[in-house]
Amino acid sequence: MTIKKCIVIIGGARDYHVMDWYSAVRSLEQDRDVRFLTDLIGGEGFEVIVKHDDVIEKLFIIDRFLFSSQNKYGNIWRNFFKLLVLPIQIFLLKKYVRKNPNSVLHAQPMYYMFLCSLANVEFIGTPQGSEVLVRPIRSKLYRAFARKALQSAKYVTVDSQSMRKGIFDLSGIKAIVIQNGIDLDEILKYRILENNKTKVCSIRGFTLLYRIDEIISARNASKNNTEISFIYPFYEENYRKEMELSMKKEDENLGRLNKADMYKLLSSSLLVISIPSSDSSPRSVYESIFLGACVAVTYNTWIEDLPKCMKERIFIVELDDINWFDKAMSYAVEVTKITYKPSHEAVEMFDQAKTIKNAMDRLYG
């Protein structure tokens, strides 16, 4: 009988998306060795999300060398320090692979793909949206690094057709599209009746990319004197301080929530806002819809791929319309009068257990 390879996810252990992938793979393959290899667990004020029973393998951990909070200079320093210790990480990664030859490595996101490429080890790679859609346009050097990492991977997976096209244009590689799934079993525990929905929530990163300034300005110009609950997995400190000057005292600045608290908030939300300047396939938007909220988003091609029942919960924002916030609120009031019932197509497309299981069969063998 053939012994299945150990699955090793290599990435940052404070990244919710990567840790969720690891946890889902581990739960689906309980009779198989699944590990997480990392150089980053906490630091910069991030809450440690590693659980006591997670199987964490370590490269050179850089947490204690980072700033105590998230800001522009901390981002610059972290990126510089990661490059500085790259030879150490390459050495440790090669050593790890030699000691664990019967392993399949899945690197997420681009930095860890680049690390695997430099270490000359076989790997599967999954970049994030801005790493393909934004950064290669801004920097020729980054573009060259990204191309090398993509071309070195055995397989590249992405979460949308726009990402697939971006990767092909960048590197000539044909990526595999794996839809971002959500934990439907867990989400259903937090469903509440639609008539309890009152909150307005901003759910993405608190940085310029996610246009928090546009959200606050539109609300402040609105006829609706509505407070907003801001939740975000990461932030830029100076930008956040600047935006706080424009917030209302009733606004909730909640920061990074655990999954249970996030689902509770989204379940009680009338309108959820997500208007980044660049986006791929936003899982938090899908979670919001399945929890019954209306979602205000700027147009992106991922919308076209959604089932009809999900499209009906989406309000497309025109940022040059000064009344977009009021219009989104009015649409949300009407659409949430009807309890969201996901179609069979929506469940099949977004059930995390199914999407990841299909991916595992294809990627890991």
pLDDT at 194 over 60: no
With bands split at pLDDT 50, 70 and 90, how would you rate the model's confidence at 298?
very high
Angle at the Cα of 156 from the Cα atoms of 36 and 307, rounded to 5 degrees: 100
Predicted local distance difference test score (pLDDT) of residue 170: 94
Mean pLDDT of the region 307-327: 96
With bands split at pLDDT 50, 70 and 90, how would you rate the model's confidence at 108?
very high
Residue 242 and residue 264 in contact, taking contact as beta carbons nearer than 8 Å: no
Burial class (CB in 10 A: 0-12, 13-18, 19+), 76: exposed
With bands split at pLDDT 50, 70 and 90, how would you rate the model's confidence at 250?
very high
pLDDT at 193 over 80: no
Q: Give the containing element (helix H, strand E) for 6.
A: strand 6-10
Q: What is the pLDDT of residues 132-152, one digit of tens each?
A: 988 998 899 999 999 999 999
Predicted local distance difference test score (pLDDT) of residue 292: 93
Could you tell me which residue, 225 or 53, shows the higher pLDDT?
53
Axis crossing angle, helix 352-363 with helix 16-28, rounded to the nearest 10: 80
Query: What DSSP state is assigned to residue 65?
Result: G
The share of the chain scoring above pLDDT 70, in percent, equals 98
Helix (H, G, I), strand (E, B) or coil at 126: coil
Predicted local distance difference test score (pLDDT) of residue 241: 94
Q: Which of 162, 191, 166 is nearest to 290 (CA)?
A: 191
Predicted local distance difference test score (pLDDT) of residue 196: 74
Q: Which two tokens stand for residue 156?
A: 């590249």
Predicted local distance difference test score (pLDDT) of residue 133: 86
Residue 284 and residue 321 in contact, taking contact as beta carbons nearer than 8 Å: no
Mean pLDDT of the region 75-79: 92
pLDDT at 248 over 60: yes
With bands split at pLDDT 50, 70 and 90, how would you rate the model's confidence at 13?
very high
> How many residues are there in the chain?
365
Q: Which of 278, 273, 280, 279 is nearest to 297 (CA)?
A: 273
With bands split at pLDDT 50, 70 and 90, how would you rate the model's confidence at 188?
confident
The share of the chain scoring above pLDDT 90, in percent, equals 74
Amino acid letter at 170?
L
φ/ψ (deg, to 5) at 187 = -60, -40
Average pLDDT for the chain: 92
Amino acid letter at 295?
V
Q: Give the containing element (helix H, strand E) for 231.
A: strand 228-231
Amino acid letter at 68?
S
Q: What do you get for the CA distance between the two ends of the chain, in Å?
A: 14
Query: In this predicted structure, which of 18-22, 53-57, 185-189, 297-301 has the lowest mean pLDDT?
Result: 185-189
pLDDT at 321 over 60: yes
Mean pLDDT of the region 143-169: 94
Query: What DSSP state is assigned to residue 171?
Result: H
pLDDT at 272 over 80: yes
How are the residues of the chain apportioned to helix, strand and coil, as percentages rounded to the nearest 5? Answer: 45, 15, 35
Cβ-based neighbours of 202, under 8 Å, separated by 6 or more: 210, 212, 215, 228, 229, 230, 231, 232, 272, 273, 274
pLDDT at 93 over 70: yes
Mean pLDDT of the region 227-233: 95
Q: Which two tokens stand for residue 245?
A: 């000057």
pLDDT at 2 over 70: no
**CA atoms of 246 and 213, how far apart (whole Å):** 9
Q: Which two tokens stand for residue 339?
A: 């309890």
Could you tell me which residue, 181 or 285, shows the higher pLDDT?
285
Could you tell me which residue, 247 or 359, shows the higher pLDDT?
247
Predicted local distance difference test score (pLDDT) of residue 365: 77
With bands split at pLDDT 50, 70 and 90, how would you rate the model's confidence at 192?
low
**CA atoms of 66 and 45, how far apart (whole Å):** 10
pLDDT at 324 over 80: yes
Burial class (CB in 10 A: 0-12, 13-18, 19+), 147: middle
Residue 352 backbone class (left: φ over 0; alpha: ψ -120 to 50; beta: rest): alpha
